[in-house]
Amino acid sequence: MSNSRPDGGPEPDDSPVRYDLDGGVATITLNRPKAMNAINLAMKEALLGALTQARQDDHVRAVVLTGAGRAFCVGQDLRELDAWLDARDARLATTVRAHYNPITMALATLPKPVIAAINGVAAGAGAALAFAADFRFAADDAAFTLAFSQVGLAPDTGASWTLQRLVGYGRAAALLMLSDPFSAPQALEMGLVNAVLPRHALAVNVGELAARLAAGPTVAYAAIKEALAFAATSDLPAALAREADLQTRCGATADHHSATTAFLAKQHPVFTGR
pLDDT in tens, 42-77: 999 999 999 999 999 999 999 999 999 999 999 988
pLDDT tens, residue by residue, 89-105 = 777 667 889 999 999 99
| Residue with the larger pLDDT of the pair 76 and 222 | 222
> Looking at the 3D structure of the chain, how many domains does it have?
2
In a domain, 274, yes or no: no
In a domain, 259, yes or no: yes
Q: Specify the pLDDT at position 185.
A: 98
Whole-model pTM?
Answer: 0.91
Same-domain check for residues 160 and 176? yes
Same-domain check for residues 77 and 116? yes
Same-domain check for residues 116 and 182? yes
Q: Is residue 274 predicted with pLDDT exceeding 90?
A: no
Same-domain check for residues 129 and 242? no
Pick the last residue of a domain from 214, 238, 253: 214
Q: Is the dihedral of CA 75, 231, 190, 188 positive or negative?
A: negative
In a domain, 19, yes or no: yes
Same-domain check for residues 60 and 11? yes
| Residue 77 domain boundaries | 2-214
Same-domain check for residues 162 and 250? no
In a domain, 125, yes or no: yes
